[in-house]
């Protein structure tokens, strides 16, 4: 699939994402479909930087064995550094390295990034990246969760999707992002649509009542019940009345 690429943000697509990866053909992947796909080239733009283009010598590699021994291979600092320096630069955008040891990515991060001009995402592979790259450049390590993937590409897609859907013009109803799980400590309430009866189960009467105050109260009650039962950690935060920085603050 062909998709628009730019050297940086443009007037028509002010949010620009750069992906530095060993597998550029993985992009845009699912980001090229549905709402984010329809907005690609207008609301946001994408380019990829192939690390394999920066190897040197007849037997050049993007990785090498780790000093001190151990299993696996490590991405070389000279290869990654050259890609960072010649791949268009950060252009004022934050750069993140997808890493299981990074700070956990949250909805608050997504909201903050969606207000900016874009992001540069460095996708790790193998056993990781030479630490000197992180120390030399202004790169923040970030994690999508407490698990390990084969590489940073899938994590980068998830991170981008969380940001892109918040951009004006991406979601059909811009209010859709304001009542979701992790916008507050409460998980989201249940949803129902037509038909009103399905396999012997009816849509709750309150949702068909047209009584907006009652519907709002029901949804809050359901969100509280689900959060209390499924995420005691979030319930404790909610009942304390002091949401931490991982949740989106009202402005």
The domain spans of the chain are 15-164, 179-240
Between 8 and 129, the more confident residue is 129
Residue 217 neighbours by CB under 8 Å, 6+ apart: none
Per residue in 120-136, is it b (16+ CB within 10 Å) or e — as a string?
bbbbbbbebbbeebbee
Between 58 and 186, the more confident residue is 186
C-beta neighbour count of 102 within 10 angstroms: 15
Residue 133 neighbours by CB under 8 Å, 6+ apart: 75, 77, 80, 81, 84, 139
> pLDDT class for 251, splitting at 50, 70, 90?
very low
- pLDDT value at residue 129: 96
Query: Looking at the domain covering 15-164, what would its CATH class be?
Result: alpha beta
Average pLDDT, the chain: 89
Lookup: tokens for 242? 């002091």
Let me know if the fold of 15-164 is the same as that of 179-240: no
For 14-42, the pLDDT digits (tens) are 999 999 999 999 999 999 999 999 999 99
For 189-246, the pLDDT digits (tens) are 999 999 999 999 999 999 999 999 999 999 999 999 999 999 999 999 999 987 656 6
Q: What is the CATH number of domain 179-240?
A: 1.10.1270.20
What is the distance between the alpha carbons of residues 151 and 135, in angstroms, rounded to a whole number? Answer: 21
- pLDDT value at residue 6: 38
> pLDDT class for 91, splitting at 50, 70, 90?
confident
Torsion, Cα 102 103 105 107, to 10 degrees, reads -170
């Amino acid at each position: 699939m062909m998709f628009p690429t730019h050297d940086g943000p443009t007037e028509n697509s002010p949010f620009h994402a750069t992906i530095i990866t060993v597998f550029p053909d993985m992009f845009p992947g699912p980001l090229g479909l549905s709402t984010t796909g329809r907005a690609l080239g207008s609301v946001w733009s994408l380019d990829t930087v192939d690390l394999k283009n920066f190897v040197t010598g007849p037997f050049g590699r993007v990785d090498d064995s780790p000093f001190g021994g151990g299993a696996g291979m490590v991405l070389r600092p000279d290869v990654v550094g050259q890609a960072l320096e010649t791949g268009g630069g950060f252009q004022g955008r934050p750069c993140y390295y997808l890493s299981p040891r990074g700070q956990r990515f949250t909805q608050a991060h997504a909201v903050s990034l969606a207000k900016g001009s874009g992001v540069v995402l460095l996708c790790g592979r193998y056993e990781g990246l030479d630490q000197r790259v992180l120390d030399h450049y202004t790169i923040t390590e970030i994690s999508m969760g407490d698990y390990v993937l084969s590489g940073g590409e899938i994590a980068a897609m998830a991170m981008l999707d969380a940001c892109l859907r918040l951009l004006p013009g991406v979601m059909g109803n811009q209010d859709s992002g304001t009542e979701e799980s992790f916008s507050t400590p409460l998980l989201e309430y249940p949803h129902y649509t037509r038909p009103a009866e399905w396999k012997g189960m009816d849509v709750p009467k309150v949702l068909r009542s047209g009584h907006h105050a009652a519907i709002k109260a029901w949804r809050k009650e359901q969100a509280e019940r689900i959060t209390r039962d499924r995420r005691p950690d979030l319930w404790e935060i909610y009942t304390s009345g002091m949401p931490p920085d991982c949740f989106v603050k009202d402005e």
